[in-house]
A and B are shown apart, each in its own frame.
Chain A
Amino acid sequence: MQDIASPTLLVLVPLLPLVAAILTVALGRVLGPRAHLPALAGIAASLAIAIVLLQGVAREQAKGGTGHDHAAKPVEMVTTLWQWAAIGDAAASGDTASAAKAFSIPVALRLDPLTATLFVIITGVGLLVVIYSIGYMHGDPGYPRFFALVATFVFSMTMLVAASNFLLVYVFWEAVGACSYLLIGFWFAKPDAAKAAKKAFLVNRVGDFGLAVATFLLWMTYGTLNFHDTLAADGSTVPGILGAARLGDAAGYVGGAVGTAICLLLLVAACGKSAQVPLHVWLPDAMEGPTPASSLIHAATMVTAGIYLVARTAPLFMAAPGALTLVSIVGATTALMAALIGTVQNDLKRVLAYSTISQLGYMFASLGTGTLLGFTAAIFHLVTHAFFKALLFMGAGSVMHSMGGVIDMRRFGGLRRIMPITAATFLVGALALAGVAPFAGFFSKDEILAALHSRGWPAAHGEHHDAVPSLGGHAGGTDPTGMAVLRDTTALGTPSWVRPAAHRRAPDAISIPSGPLDGLNTPGTWRLLFWMSLVTAGLTAFYTFRAVFMTFTGPTRVPDEAGHHAHESPPVMTVPLVVLAVASAVSGWLLFRTHALASFLASTPSFTAPAVSATATPPAFHWDLAIQGTLAAVVGIVVAALGHLGRRSDGPQMERFLGPLGTLFANRFFFDQIYAAFVVRPLEVIATLAALIDRRVIDGLVDLVARLPLGLGTVVRHLQSGLVQRYALAGVIGTLLIVLALVARAMG
């Protein structure tokens, strides 16, 4: 398993962007307008290597001979670069309890299907963003800085998905946050941008705190932070949190209160990074950054780190079904709420920002189903979303570039005549986002709906499953019956189609522990979540096409800022748009048709845990759900067309029909105001008090100490008269005194 690919290649994927970043920093002034070259070359090479690695993983997986078998074997390669920290000698102590607690943090990179997939997405979108930025950032005084930051981000993000250790994950979790902060505040002289960067950073701290505490708890619970199995000093194996030893063990994961607490903390972390309710408030403001950065970081890659984290720790979540359900609830709520807000936004980038929040909510809803379908569908949607959302953002950037920095949709219209390529590619992206067949979003959204539907109506999906021959039968008869074993464990929150598989224990060994929050986990909840997602699909189509119609149709209008040179963007910007448009158009169909991604991802170690792989279902196209989803999308598009197609975008808007609800949506459910009143204001009061005490009391004490020598100095200062004779007199008097003293002593 170690010969999937050369470890050097794995290391090169993050290393090349890092080198590019350092080169850009070092040579930025020399390179001047060619400062994009290091980042371009480094990320392109990373992409090439990522593709080679992807092929390597796919080859290794095919070697496993599992094919469409649901019991995919784990495929992973771990390479340890060096030991960051190694505390506690297990062999010396000889005590098994403390041996398990020996603290070692290897800087280990891993390669598995999930990492390989994300590598390609990060470097691929990263490369297109770099190319696009050559045009978009042209002439900006911070040109080299931008590319250095983008390259640093690609380095951090690839390290984040490659890290095989929770501490490393934390490090790069922070690193991508820092890159995000620096890119949001790229135009730091603009007060709004500086504020938005600060807000993003502070809101993310809440999530980061969750990840830190989760890491502590994981260490306390499992005695290691590694994903992979490691060797202790005495040669025994320390089972990693996601290592083969623990994955094969059905009782390997702690449930109950501790397990739920870990998962909830991980969820908090994911909510922060992936902008889920209630920590979503930073993402819309993050649009103050340069559009290519929004496209790369706040649409395609960094915000999906939360999805990655939950997917990676899937076995942990499977042991805490209550927390898992909460993932779905948070996701679906966010999806619906963000979509509602998105319907009344007039800023093109803000519409897309809320759309991103909404789509990330979809992914969370899908992850929370706790089925293999749900996990792979979330990653599938992550992939397609990366394509079409990056496309939409770059399209918005192209509009902004041409409109002289104006992004308010009410101030321009009918741009399809001015910028046909942008309009066409934007339309493709919008269709993909709205989930219209056969564009990418349709397939991934269909899978997500299917995953939610299967939890709400388990019986309907159990039928699919019965059609599959049992795996236990032809794999050595570990399951005596060779038949599907249906368990009615809905009370415990397990799906009722738990099946045995050849490589794991008998079905009754798979016990999904009960824990807190199980009360959430009822079919009713899932049905509600399903309907919420379906409504969100309709709303998504509505706001997306509202934006399309407002921007590209109606009488052609251009704001004054654009001057007389409103034109299509240069090829360096439109080519990435076209590439992404093609990807948005066909990737969904290709990946769904061949079922390649789902079966590929099934070999990710996290998804081979019995609890996850037991929920595998055969690939299926759900006509009923596809029709419902498409219907929702069509309704949304038709409503948007009725309201906006061919009209002036500054004319009467649809939201006048919403009444007070419109106010609610336009004010983003008053989240910012609530936070301002209950979090920001009290903190400001405390800060003011603290500042007062600092200035008056503490600084006063320090000043007092400083005044003491000053006062003493005033006394002796008069001796320094500047008159030589006085000094001489003082010398004479002093000498006389000494002589007198000596004489007095000699006299006795």
Chain B
Amino acid sequence: MTPAPLVLDGLVVGAILFALGLVGILARRNLIVMFLCAELMLQGISVSLVSWSRHHGDWGGHVLVIFVLTVAACEAAVALVFVLQAFARTGRLDAAAWQSLRESNLPRTVDHELPAVDTVPPTFPRLTPAGVEPAVDEDALLEREHV
């Protein structure tokens, strides 16, 4: 009886799926992509469960996976509603848009700008500036009621 390679394959696939999901969730800021990555991690775990279950000839793992699928479906519904609401609130899908939830006396984390491609800025005809541009609070902008 040499089913070990099959188990190993299943586990490797599961691990790859899990790792992809983990990297995605840590690296991506789009809420929907992050959500998908979380699903990916779940499925990775599910694959390894199924593999172990099959390896041991025990239905427990299968039952658990069905259970996970059910829970994941519910979770998907809740998470998507949250994403929609978050989008309605900020007009963005960027998770960093919610960084105003940080401790109030910490500085705002600013994205590193990409280096300027064109070092010579194009010149455009300009009107004489009139008035003073109002200072815009980035956090306040993000918290507008409607898009």
Contacts and interface: CB of A to CB of B under 8 A. Distances in A.
B102 interface: yes
B128 interface: no
A732 interface: yes
Contacts of A725: 25-27, 29, 95
B95 A723 contact: yes
Nearest to A723: B99
A729 B102 CA distance: 16
Contacts of A718: 103, 106
A723 B34 CA distance: 13
Contacts of A729: 26
B102 A720 contact: yes
Interface in A704-748: 717-718, 720-725, 728-729, 732
Interface in B104-131: 105-106, 109
B22 A732 contact: yes
A721 B109 contact: yes
B125 to A, nearest CB: 41
A724 B98 contact: yes
B106 A723 contact: no
A369 B76 CA distance: 100
B101 interface: yes
Contact of B106 (A717, A724, A728, A732): A717
B8 interface: no
B100 interface: yes
B71 to A, nearest CB: 19
A723 B95 CA distance: 7
A739 to B, nearest CB: 13
Contacts of B96: 723-724
Interface in A365-399: none
A729 B25 CA distance: 9
A722 B96 CA distance: 8
B48 to A, nearest CB: 15
Contact of A728 (B26, B98, B99, B103): B26
Nearest to A724: B95
Contacts of A720: 102-103, 106
Interface string B16-53: 00000010011101000010000000000000000000
A722 B98 contact: yes
A721 B100 CA distance: 8
A722 B101 contact: yes
A725 B96 CA distance: 9
Contacts of A728: 25-26
B99 A732 contact: no
Nearest to B31: A724
A732 B102 contact: no
A723 B26 contact: no
Contact of A721 (B27, B29, B106): B106
Contacts of B109: 721-723
With a 10 A CB-CB cut-off, give which of B96, B101, B103, B105 has the most chain A CB atoms. Answer: B103
Contacts of B102: 720-723
A721 B34 CA distance: 18
A733 to B, nearest CB: 11
Interface residues of B, number: 17
A97 B106 CA distance: 76
A712 to B, nearest CB: 14
B105 A717 contact: yes
With a 10 A CB-CB cut-off, give which of A722, A724, A728 has the most chain B CB atoms. Answer: A722
A723 B27 CA distance: 12
Nearest to B99: A722
A730 to B, nearest CB: 11
A748 to B, nearest CB: 25
Nearest to B38: A728
A51 B96 CA distance: 87
A144 B109 CA distance: 63
Interface in B86-103: 95-96, 98-103
A729 B26 CA distance: 7
B109 to A, nearest CB: 6
B95 A732 contact: no
Contacts of B29: 725
A721 B105 contact: no
A718 B107 CA distance: 10
B29 to A, nearest CB: 7
A724 B100 CA distance: 11
B143 to A, nearest CB: 13
Nearest to A716: B103
A718 B96 CA distance: 16
Contacts of A717: 103, 105-106
Interface string B46-65: 00000000000000000000
Nearest to B100: A722
Interface in A671-726: 717-718, 720-725
A489 B9 CA distance: 127
Nearest to B98: A722
Nearest to A725: B26
Nearest to A719: B103
B26 to A, nearest CB: 6
A461 B34 CA distance: 114
Contacts of B100: 722
B84 to A, nearest CB: 17
A724 B99 CA distance: 8
A685 B49 CA distance: 81
B113 to A, nearest CB: 17
B30 to A, nearest CB: 11
A732 B101 contact: no
Contacts of A723: 95-96, 99, 102, 109
A713 to B, nearest CB: 9
A230 to B, nearest CB: 70
A724 B103 CA distance: 14
Nearest to A729: B26
B95 to A, nearest CB: 5
Contacts of B103: 717-718, 720-722
Contacts of B25: 725, 728
B120 to A, nearest CB: 35
B110 to A, nearest CB: 12
A732 B26 contact: yes
Contacts of A721: 99, 102-103, 106, 109
Contacts of A722: 98-103, 106, 109
A149 B43 CA distance: 79
A720 to B, nearest CB: 4
B114 to A, nearest CB: 19
Contacts of B99: 721-723
A722 B34 CA distance: 16
Nearest to B96: A723
A721 B109 CA distance: 8
A717 B103 CA distance: 7
Interface string A11-42: 00000000000000000000000000000000
A717 B104 CA distance: 10
Contacts of B105: 717
B94 to A, nearest CB: 10
A581 to B, nearest CB: 75
B99 to A, nearest CB: 4
B138 to A, nearest CB: 12
Task: List 6 A-B pairs, minimum CB-CB distance, nearest first.
Answer: A722-B102, A722-B99, A720-B103, A722-B101, A724-B95, A717-B103
6 contacts: A720-B102, A721-B103, A722-B100, A722-B102, A722-B106, A728-B26
Given A723-B102, A724-B34, A725-B95, 7 more contacts: A721-B99, A721-B103, A722-B98, A722-B101, A722-B106, A723-B96, A728-B25
Interface of B: 22, 25-27, 29, 34, 95-96, 98-103, 105-106, 109
